[in-house]
Amino acid sequence: MRYETETALSTSLKRLRLAAGLTQEELAERAGISARTVSDIERGLRAGIHHDTARRLASVLNLDEQERRAFDAVARGRAVGPLSGPRQTVLPAFPTPLLGREKELASINTTLLPGDVRLLTLTGPGGIGKTRLALEAARAAQPTFRDGVYFVSLGELKSASLVAPELAKAVGAVETGPNFEQLLRQHLAERQALVVLDTFEHVTAAAPLVYSLLLSCPQISFLVTSRSALRLRGEHEFPVPPLETPAQIGDHPSHDILGAPATALFWHRAHAVRPDLQLDSTSASLVLEICRRLDGLPLAIELAAARVKHAPLASIRRQLEHRLDLLVGGPVDLPVRQRTIRDTVAWSFDLLDAPAQVLFRRLSVFVGGWSLDDLDSVCGAGRDTGSPLEDISALVDQSLVALDHDNPVARYDMPDIVREYAAQRLVEAGENLETARRHALHFLQLAEEAEPNLVRAGHERWFQLLDIERANLRAGMGWALESRKTVIALRYAVALWRYWRHLGEFAEGRRWVDAAVAMAGSAPASLRAKAMWAAGALAFPQGDHERMATLAREAYELAQQSEDRMDLRNALTIGGMVAMMHACYVDALEPFRESVVICRQLGVSWQLGTSYLNLGTALLHAGFSDEAVAALQEGGRVYRQIGDQVFAARVDNVLAHAALARGEVDEAGHLARGALLTVSVLQEHQGIADGLYTLAAVAAAQADHNRAATLAGAAAAVRETIAAHPGLFDLAIPGHFLNGTEQAVGTARWQSTRHAGYSMPAEKAIAYALGRK
pLDDT score of 48: 67
What would the mean pLDDT of 706-711 be, rounded to a whole number?
A: 91
Q: How far apart are CA 200 and CA 177, in angstroms?
A: 25
- Which is more confidently placed, 18 or 309? 309
Which residue stretches of 504-564 are H helix?
506-517, 525-539, 545-559
Distances (CA, A) of 535 to 313, 472, 740: 60, 21, 37
Q: Which of 10-14, 38-42, 197-201, 339-343 has the highest average model confidence (pLDDT)?
A: 197-201
pLDDT interval class at 98 (50, 70, 90): confident
What would the mean pLDDT of 579-601 be, rounded to a whole number?
A: 96
- With 50 as the cut, is the pLDDT of residue 325 above it? no
What would the mean pLDDT of 342-356 be, rounded to a whole number?
A: 79
pLDDT score of 324: 36
Query: What is the distance, to the nearest Å, from the Cα of residue 429 to the centroid of all Cα atoms in its chain?
Result: 35
pLDDT score of 159: 84
What would the mean pLDDT of 613-637 be, rounded to a whole number?
A: 96
Q: What are 412's strand-pairing partners? A: 370, 403
CB-based contacts of 433: which residues, under 8 Å, 6+ apart?
A: none
pLDDT interval class at 68 (50, 70, 90): confident
Q: Identify the burial level of 458 via C-beta atoms within 10 angstroms of its C-beta, where 0-12 means exposed, 13-18 middle and 19 or more buried.
A: exposed
- With 70 as the cut, is the pLDDT of residue 202 above it? yes
- Which is more confidently placed, 14 or 773? 14
Q: Which of 42-46, 439-443, 728-732 has the highest average model confidence (pLDDT)?
A: 439-443
pTM of the model: 0.73
Candidate from 371-380, 445-454, 620-629 with smallest mean pLDDT? 371-380
pLDDT score of 504: 85
pLDDT interval class at 3 (50, 70, 90): very low
pLDDT score of 81: 39
Candidate from 92-101, 337-346, 583-592, 667-676 with smallest mean pLDDT? 337-346
Residue 703, number of CB atoms within 10 A of its CB:
12
Q: How far apart are CA 439 and CA 150, in angstroms?
A: 31
Closest CA to 204 of 116, 104, 137, 123: 123
pLDDT score of 15: 72
* DSSP secondary structure of 661-715: HHT-HHHHHHHHHHHHHHHHHHT-HHHHHHHHHHHHHHHHHTT-HHHHHHHHHHH
pLDDT score of 43: 67
pLDDT score of 212: 94
* DSSP secondary structure of 464-495: HHHHHTHHHHHHHHHHHHHTT-HHHHHHHHHH
**Residue 96 gets which letter from DSSP?**
S
Q: What are 197's strand-pairing partners? A: 152, 224
Residue 382, Ramachandran bin (φ over 0: left; ψ between -120 and 50: alpha; else beta): left
Q: Which of 88-92, 461-465, 526-530 has the highest average model confidence (pLDDT)?
A: 526-530
pLDDT interval class at 178 (50, 70, 90): low
Strand ranges (E), 161-259: 193-198, 220-226, 235-239
- With 50 as the cut, is the pLDDT of residue 706 above it? yes
The SS3 call for residue 170 is: helix
Candidate from 605-619, 654-668, 749-763 with smallest mean pLDDT? 749-763
Distances (CA, A) of 388 to 384, 430, 763: 11, 22, 43
Q: Identify the burial level of 747 via C-beta atoms within 10 angstroms of its C-beta, where 0-12 means exposed, 13-18 middle and 19 or more buried.
A: exposed
- With 50 as the cut, is the pLDDT of residue 79 above it? no
Asked if residue 570 lies in contact with residue 559, where contact means CB atoms within 8 angstroms, the answer is yes
CB-based contacts of 660: which residues, under 8 Å, 6+ apart?
A: 668, 694, 697, 698, 701, 733, 734, 737
Tell me the residue type at 404: D
What would the mean pLDDT of 601-616 be, rounded to a whole number?
A: 96
Q: How far apart are CA 298 and CA 291, in angstroms?
A: 9
**Residue 242 gets which letter from DSSP?**
P
Q: Which of 249-253, 570-574, 762-766 has the highest average model confidence (pLDDT)?
A: 570-574
pLDDT score of 394: 80
Tell me the residue type at 40: D
CB-based contacts of 269: which residues, under 8 Å, 6+ apart?
A: 301, 302, 305, 306
Q: How far apart are CA 282 and CA 629, in angstroms?
A: 84
Q: What are 403's strand-pairing partners? A: 412
Q: How far apart are CA 61 and CA 747, in angstroms?
A: 16
Q: How far apart are CA 298 and CA 215, in angstroms?
A: 36
CB-based contacts of 20: which residues, under 8 Å, 6+ apart?
A: 27, 60, 61, 62, 748, 752
In tens, the pLDDT along 263-293 reads 999 999 898 889 999 888 898 999 999 888 8
CB-based contacts of 453: which residues, under 8 Å, 6+ apart?
A: 459, 462
In tens, the pLDDT along 123-159 reads 887 788 899 999 999 998 888 898 889 999 888 787 8
- Which is more confidently placed, 99 or 223? 223
What would the mean pLDDT of 412-440 be, rounded to a whole number?
A: 91
pLDDT score of 304: 84
pLDDT score of 535: 96
Closest CA to 443 of 530, 381, 377, 487: 377
- With 70 as the cut, is the pLDDT of residue 103 above it? yes
pLDDT interval class at 631 (50, 70, 90): very high
How much is the mean pLDDT over the chain?
Answer: 85
pLDDT score of 428: 94
In tens, the pLDDT along 540-587 reads 998 899 999 999 999 999 999 999 999 999 999 999 999 999 999 999
End-to-end CA distance of the chain: 55
What would the mean pLDDT of 297-305 be, rounded to a whole number?
A: 84
Within 13 Å, how many C-alpha atoms sit on residue 626's CB side?
A: 0
Asked if residue 556 lies in contact with residue 586, where contact means CB atoms within 8 angstroms, the answer is no
Asked if residue 729 lies in contact with residue 545, where contact means CB atoms within 8 angstroms, the answer is no
What would the mean pLDDT of 413-417 be, rounded to a whole number?
A: 80
pLDDT score of 339: 44
pLDDT interval class at 45 (50, 70, 90): low
- Which is more confidently placed, 204 or 196? 196
pLDDT score of 446: 97
In tens, the pLDDT along 654-682 reads 999 999 999 999 999 999 999 999 999 98
Q: How far apart are CA 306 and CA 269, in angstroms?
A: 7
- With 60 as the cut, is the pLDDT of residue 517 above it? yes
pLDDT interval class at 193 (50, 70, 90): very high
- Its sign, for the CA torsion 416, 420, 425, 430, is positive
pLDDT interval class at 423 (50, 70, 90): very high
- With 60 as the cut, is the pLDDT of residue 260 above it? yes
Distances (CA, A) of 594 to 104, 380, 581: 69, 48, 19
Q: How far apart are CA 71 and CA 9, in angstroms?
A: 8
Q: How far apart are CA 288 and CA 296, in angstroms?
A: 10
- Which is more confidently placed, 248 or 559? 559
pLDDT score of 326: 28
Residue 638, number of CB atoms within 10 A of its CB:
23
Q: Which of 307-321, 401-415, 523-537, 729-743 has the highest average model confidence (pLDDT)?
A: 523-537
What would the mean pLDDT of 624-651 be, rounded to a whole number?
A: 96
Rg over alpha carbons for the chain, rounded to the nearest Å, is 30
Candidate from 201-215, 299-313, 581-595, 742-756 with smallest mean pLDDT? 742-756
